[in-house]
Amino acid sequence: MPNTPPTLRRPLVGVLILLALLISPLADAGFVDKSSRLSEFTPHSGPIRLHGVAENFDLYIPLADTSEIKDGWLDLSLSRSIALQAERSSFRIMFNETTLAQIPFNPDQPMAHARLRIPDALWRKGFNKLTLSVIQHYVYRYEDPNAPELWTEIDLYNSSLSYKLAAADQGLRLQDLGGIFSPGIGGQATVLMLSSAAADFSSADAHLPTSLPLLAQALALHRNYAPLNIQHAAWQANTADDRTAFEAGAYHAEAADTAHLLIGTRAELSSVLPNGLLERIQGPFLQLAYTKPPKASAEQPQQVPAARLIVSGNTPEEVIQAAQMLLDTTEGHSTPALPGHFLQPQGRYSFAELGRNTVTLGGAGNKRVGVKLPISGEFHTHESAQAELLLDFAYGAGVGMGSVMSVFLNGEFVHGLKLGQEHGAAFRNYRIELPARKLLPGINTLDFDFTMRPETFPGEYPTMPGSHLLVQILDSSSIRMPKASPLAVLPDLASFSATGFPYIAQSNHAAARLVVTDQALMGAALSLSGKLAQQAQRANTELRVLDQLANPGGNMILLSTPAAMPEELFSEWSAALQRSKRWSLRALNQIRTEGLLSLANASESGIIHEQGLDKQAVMLAMRYPGQMDTHTLTILSADSHALLTQRVQSLLQPQLWNQLHGDLVSWEGLGKPLLGMRVNNFYEVGEQARWDRIMLSLSNNPWYWILALLLSAVLMALLARRYLRRHEAAKLAE
């Protein structure tokens, strides 16, 4: 304020201080400003359109149990048809069934921006329902309720929810872990796992290789499908000061408010935990609590308390037991939140079991009911097989022309039914066959689209409002899965991304390893294991994380820079034929086209790192070389540890993760598309059902099929000719 007169400076400073005090963090102790796009709460990434005379759209906003929220503001960006009548058209926003605002239509302003406050009292823990509804008219009489003029468009990407968020003022118990890592608002998206620098990954009694993946998977499962960024660090604390800092949660200064997880035996933890707490560790030990940050000072602003989970025990075995206990608790608690485990071959599942309770839809317009069908990565059935949907549903009287039900499986139309009975109809076990080839590994969506139209009449009001229309799908509806075998054709990164297969199998707990060539990559590896557990909806207790390649066997994920890539994995590549098979010209050309050079180039001596991958990271899945048993090796690589960690965190985001396909992918950041291709030969995995395996092999290797057939046919032909010649000779001799 260089131009302010000095006499005015003192009172102005005072007012400013007062204002600053009023709006200072002290006034909102512990609350942090946050903002989210509305598109984050729905699969609709862009605008949604509300058609017809009356329609609404529901958004579900989750809120962690362990969080408090206030000062919620909704910013809505919308545009509306210019044909609407101002006095009869309005836009209504409801929050948890309470109307927040009604916005009349202004013909001069078809593009509108609305900002409204959500009263704090309306927020609920768990799920909050935001309803956007419209009443739309364009004429007084003879109105067609389905006229194309009746529309309002809401841009969810540019609409947002801003709020202040704080941890709930409550003590934490272990069961609050679900709230801490909730996928909703207030849930922790990052966790820092801390272990002692003295603890190793290679000794026989090391607990970290087992316990870390268990914990990573357990915490990730709490997040449901939301990514969990896991960081890993080792503490070196030896002094009382360090212990105090640890107690204050300030050990990892740049992530002081991040949830922490301390893992170690009682002895390992003795350097960082107070004696009182250590004395409580008498066996497998789990504790969840907030850290106690030091009070604000001139140098240090007040820190937000962070949740801290301690996993410990007297011995390494007890640490693992504690981790396993956490996982068991997680799986037990989280199951209801998940859509259900994978559907089993020949199993019959009611909609209730699939998480879809009886639903009744009312009114005219387009309605959609979805059911999720989780399919394992090792669910193999032949292409012509059918799943049987036995639908129990009904629709009420008074439906008009154009009322239909369309059934879509993964967005593909599979069945249609005209709803044409004037007095309504009820169906039990209405049979629809779903082609099994359209069921993909991961979550499949079975959608029932209802277009409900009221009857039309000649005259001034040609249609009824349609409020009498209803359709009901009962939770007794069921789906019967076809016969299938636990077999899969690999490598397939699409299946890997959708189900975590083959690293987490549905049929058993197969041994699998996460190997990092440097501990700096441990966090990325653990994040990946958590993601796989999320996709599989279960954890693999036989998953181990290692910091060096040892004891080859089982499926393996390797995180490494190209320079540190273990050569023994590629010893087979010395043969030129193998090399060309592994790295096809197509793949190399494609990568070069993108301005890169290959991750590795094989030579007589193994892998030679010629040039860097630049900003790209690469992921390659293939049959584990040099093993008798069929296992899968997946390699993730980037030029540096930091870059690879960063790229893995990007990859775990749905935008990139859902794009995984083929067996070789390269990616850069979230804003750029993932490049995928197929360069390796297929192979089959699965341990059961020999016949099914033979069938799958024949299907994948038709030349064997032809060979077997020709062998049979030639033999039959030779024997038939022999018989025919004898018969003919006998006939001619008559």
Task: Output phi, psi for 202, to 5 deg.
Answer: -110, -20
**Smallest distance, another protein to C-beta of residue 631, A:** 24
**Smallest distance, another protein to C-beta of residue 715, A:** 5
Structure tokens at 381: 């059935």
Residues 367-386 close enough to bind another protein by CB under 8 A: 382-386
**Smallest distance, another protein to C-beta of residue 714, A:** 7
- The region of 116-124, 215-223, 348-356, 721-729 touching another protein under the rule CB under 8 A is 721-729
Q: Which is nearer to another protein, 348 or 431 (CB)?
A: 431
User: Reading across the β-sheet that carries 259-265, which strands appear in turn?
Assistant: 229-235, 190-196, 259-265, 307-313, 285-290
* Size of site (CB under 8 A) for another protein: 45
728 binds another protein (CB under 8 A): yes
CB-based contact 129:109 (threshold 8 Å): no
**Smallest distance, another protein to C-beta of residue 706, A:** 5
717 binds another protein (CB under 8 A): yes
Q: Which is nearer to another protein, 683 or 705 (CB)?
A: 705
Q: Which residue in the block uniquely carries the two structure tokens 């394992």?
A: 376
Chain center to CA of 101: 34
How many Cβ atoms are within 10 Å of 377's Cβ, its own excluded?
A: 29
Site string for another protein, 690-709 (x = CB under 8 A): ----xx--xxx-x--xx-xx
**Smallest distance, another protein to C-beta of residue 707, A:** 10
CB-based contact 417:402 (threshold 8 Å): no
**Smallest distance, another protein to C-beta of residue 731, A:** 6
Q: CA angle, 566 as apex, 560 and 571 as ends, to 5°? A: 135
**Smallest distance, another protein to C-beta of residue 445, A:** 18
Q: CB-based contacts of 485: which residues, under 8 Å, 6+ apart? A: 345, 380, 381, 686, 688, 689, 692, 693, 696
Interface pick for another protein out of 73, 157, 430, 683 (rule CB under 8 A): 430
Q: Which residue in the block uniquely carries the two structure tokens 């994040």?
A: 527
712 binds another protein (CB under 8 A): yes
721 binds another protein (CB under 8 A): yes
Interface pick for another protein out of 116, 394, 432, 564 (rule CB under 8 A): 432
- Residue 194's closest CA among 260, 239, 258? 260
Interface pick for another protein out of 21, 27, 82, 710 (rule CB under 8 A): 710
3-state SS, one letter per residue, for 147-191: CCCCEEEEECCCCEEEEEEEECCCCCCHHHHHHHCCCCECCCCEE
Q: Which is nearer to another protein, 20 or 707 (CB)?
A: 707
Q: Which is nearer to another protein, 516 or 696 (CB)?
A: 696
496-525 CB burial, b ≥16 within 10 A, e <16: bbbbbbbbbbbeeebebbbbbbebbbbbbb
Q: Which is nearer to another protein, 301 or 702 (CB)?
A: 702
H/E run at residue 350: strand 348-350
Site string for another protein, 384-403 (x = CB under 8 A): xxx-----------------
User: Reading across the β-sheet that carries 365-375, which strands appear in turn?
Assistant: 365-375, 442-452, 404-409, 412-418
Ranges of H-type helices in 223-315: 240-247, 266-269, 275-279
Q: Which is nearer to another protein, 323 or 479 (CB)?
A: 479
Interface pick for another protein out of 70, 333, 415, 480 (rule CB under 8 A): 415
719 binds another protein (CB under 8 A): yes
Interface pick for another protein out of 49, 431, 509, 672 (rule CB under 8 A): 431
**Smallest distance, another protein to C-beta of residue 413, A:** 5
- The region of 55-63, 230-238, 430-438, 517-525 touching another protein under the rule CB under 8 A is 430-438
Q: Which residue in the block uniquely carries the two structure tokens 């118990």?
A: 173
- The region of 270-278, 472-480, 536-544, 725-733 touching another protein under the rule CB under 8 A is 725-733
**Smallest distance, another protein to C-beta of residue 712, A:** 4
CA–CA dist 65, 696 (Å, integer): 47
Residues of this chain that bind another protein (CB under 8 A):
382-386, 413, 415-417, 430-433, 435, 694-695, 698-700, 702, 705-706, 708-725, 727-728, 731-732, 734
